[in-house]
């Protein structure tokens, strides 16, 4: 750190302060974790300096033998861990992994003579009319994914994201009464819309998805099933999600991040069956820039860690903790979307405390509890202010906290939310952002959180 400080002390200070923050607060953001020292060290080194566009053995640069080793070891661990036919470990993030997957499905599935010729490397022979046809063919495809307020992700065809602009998009929600995925409604939407890609996977859905049924629906309408398991990859790796709930045997293509419940470096990954492997491997340079060899090294380490028996124990404890936290909150009167959780996350409807998600998020942060606000189904406060707080247990479980401590965490969250009242806007009217926390609550809870 002294080498960093000598160049710009502000950066050294920010790094130090971040370590302090992460130690002193309760990290309940469902998508965050603590990577191991081995993962961090595999990432902070000279591999970072190497250019290696292409894939293993087929690079556009000389001198890539060490990157080839790193990339093939990471892919081998990924294949073995998840039982996948093919793994592509280059994506720099989850969004990039999804873009690679979209490209692969488009390239493999869209019936476009111009595209086939382009794919067969006759690019220079294509006429202007061919290019026009190719753009039309690629641009007129349909995607069906889970809506954002039901817990889907921005990249699953949501309009502000490029996925919602590239594809004609429709979304499926959850049953308004139960909050659960309604497979009959998904099937009906798929029959009517006939998407090229049916996406399953979520960022804020607290239950399990049956991927066998999703695949049946996809097959019935000729869609490719893509599962984005970014959030729950650690639960799949740890064999907590098996059978119908493991996406890998059911989906033709699976994307993930590596830094959430999987506990690796920030990054993404694509798993697929052999029919899509060639197109997926063209991710770089088709969609991605040069790979990050240092991050692929860290992915290899994280994936190897996830193959150890102790990771299965870790994954099970994530879910046990999540249930204990949810039950602790509900016992104290909190309302949870779907009435509980089956995975690593839960969604508190904070309107029961008379708050918006934005107010609750800020009050919890004052008390050393780091969460994020999140829309709930049919959220009257929209995606910015929201009515929900998403909480997840992967990070606290890494820290070694167990179900007994989860009850204390539930108590702390409830104490803050019950002790917070909405503030007023500048014009004196009701505010969705400002809030007041009862005297002493923040300090007392922050101290108890730091002691955990």
Annotated binding residues: 148, 152-154
Q: Which of the 8 DSSP states describes residue 31?
A: T
What's the farthest any 2 CA atoms get from each other in the chain? 74
Residues 254-283 touching ligand PLP, rule: CB under 6 A, are: 257, 268
β-strands 372-374, 388-392 pairing: antiparallel
Q: Among 71, 228, 327, 349, which residue interacts with ligand PLP (rule: CB under 6 A)?
A: 228
Measured at CB, which residue is nearest to ligand PLP? 94
Find the part of the chain contacting ligand PLP (CB under 6 A) among 8-16, 168-176, 226-234, 398-406: 226-234
* Cα separation, 265 vs 444, whole angstroms: 34
Scanning 11-19, 91-99, 118-126, 420-428 for contacts with ligand PLP by CB under 6 A, the matching segment is 91-99
- 231 versus 282: smaller Cβ distance to ligand PLP: 231
- Rule CB under 6 A: say whether 93 interacts with ligand PLP: yes
Q: For residues 265 and 290, which CB has a smaller minimum distance to ligand PLP in the complex?
A: 265
Examine residue 31 and tell whether it contacts ligand PLP (CB under 6 A).
yes
Among 109, 215, 231, 390, binds ligand PLP (CB under 6 A): 231
Only one of the segments 7-15, 162-170, 224-232, 365-373 lies at the binding site for ligand PLP (rule: CB under 6 A); that segment is 224-232
94 near ligand PLP, rule: CB under 6 A = yes
| Contact between 155 and ligand PLP per CB under 6 A | yes
Binding site for (6S)-5,6,7,8-tetrahydrofolate: what residues are annotated?
148, 152-154
- Among residue numbers 400 through 429, which ones bind ligand PLP (CB under 6 A)? none
Query: Can you tell me the distance from the alpha carbon of 204 to that of 210, in angstroms, rounded to the nearest whole number?
Result: 16
Q: Is 203 in the site for ligand PLP (CB under 6 A)?
A: yes
Rounded to 5 degrees, φ, ψ at 125 are -85, -10
Q: How many residues bind ligand PLP (CB under 6 A)?
A: 13
Closer CB to ligand PLP, residue 230 or residue 248?
230
Q: By the 8 A CB rule, do 225 and 215 touch?
A: yes
Residue 425 token pair? 């806007």
Cα–Cα distance, 253 to 233 (Å, whole number): 14
CA pair distance 188, 221, nearest whole angstrom: 10
Question: How big is the chain, counted in residues?
Answer: 452
CB of 446 to ligand PLP, least distance (A): 27
CA distances from 195 to 50, 114, 226, 280 (A): 40, 21, 12, 20
Residues marked active site are found at 51, 53, 228, 257, 260, 266
CA distances from 250 to 128, 142, 233, 267 (A): 40, 21, 15, 23
Phi/psi-derived region of residue 263, left when phi > 0, alpha when psi is between -120 and 50, beta in every other case = left
**Binding flag, residue 201, ligand PLP (CB under 6 A):** yes
In angstroms, what is the minimal distance from the CB of 30 to ligand PLP? Answer: 9
HSE (CB half, 13 Å, CA atoms) of 408? 15
Whole-number Å distance between alpha carbons of 234 and 315: 6
Interface with ligand PLP (CB under 6 A): 31, 93-95, 153, 155, 201, 203, 228, 230-231, 257, 268
């Amino acid at each position: 750190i002294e080498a960093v400080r000598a160049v710009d002390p502000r950066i050294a200070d920010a790094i130090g302060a971040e370590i302090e923050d992460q130690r002193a607060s309760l990290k309940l953001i469902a998508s965050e974790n603590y990577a191991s020292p081995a993962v961090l060290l595999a990432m902070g080194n000279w591999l970072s300096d190497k250019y290696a566009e292409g894939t293993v053995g087929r690079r556009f640069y000389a001198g890539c033998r060490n990157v080839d080793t790193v990339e093939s070891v990471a892919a081998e661990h990924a294949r073995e861990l998840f039982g996948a036919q093919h793994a592509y470990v280059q994506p720099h993030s989850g969004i990039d992994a999804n873009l690679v997957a979209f490209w692969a499905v488009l390239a493999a599935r869209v019936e476009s003579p111009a595209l086939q010729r382009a794919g067969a490397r006759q690019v220079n022979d294509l006429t202007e009319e061919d290019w026009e046809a190719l753009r039309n063919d690629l641009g007129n495809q349909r995607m069906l994914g889970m809506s954002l307020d039901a817990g889907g992700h921005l990249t699953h065809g949501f309009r502000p994201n490029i996925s919602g602009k590239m594809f004609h998009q429709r979304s499926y929600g959850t049953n308004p009464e139960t909050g659960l995925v309604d497979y009959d409604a998904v099937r009906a939407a798929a029959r009517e819309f006939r998407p090229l890609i049916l996406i399953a996977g979520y960022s804020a859905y607290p239950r399990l998805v049956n991927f066998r049924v999703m695949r049946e629906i996809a097959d019935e309408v000729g869609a490719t099933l893509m599962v984005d398991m970014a959030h729950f990859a650690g639960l799949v790796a740890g064999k907590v999600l098996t059978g119908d709930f493991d996406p890998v045997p059911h989906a033709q293509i699976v994307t993930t991040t590596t830094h959430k419940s999987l506990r690796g470096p920030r990054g993404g990954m694509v798993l697929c069956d052999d029919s899509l492997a060639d197109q997926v491997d063209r991710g770089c340079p088709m969609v991605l820039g040069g790979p990050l060899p240092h991050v692929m090294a860290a992915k290899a380490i994280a994936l190897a860690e996830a193959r150890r028996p102790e990771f299965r124990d870790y994954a099970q404890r994530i879910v046990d903790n999540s249930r204990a936290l949810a039950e602790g909150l509900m016992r104290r009167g909190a309302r949870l979307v779907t009435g509980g959780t089956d995975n690593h996350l839960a969604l508190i409807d904070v309107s029961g405390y008379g708050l918006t998600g934005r107010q609750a998020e800020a009050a919890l942060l004052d008390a050393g509890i780091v969460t994020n606000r999140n829309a709930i189904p049919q959220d009257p406060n929209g995606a910015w202010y929201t009515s929900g707080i998403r909480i997840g247990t992967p990070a606290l479980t890494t820290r070694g906290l167990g179900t007994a401590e989860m009850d204390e965490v539930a108590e702390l969250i409830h104490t803050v939310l019950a002790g917070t009242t909405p503030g007023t806007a500048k014009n004196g009217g009701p505010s969705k952002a400002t809030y007041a926390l009862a005297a002493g609550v923040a300090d007392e809870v922050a101290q108890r959180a730091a002691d955990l």
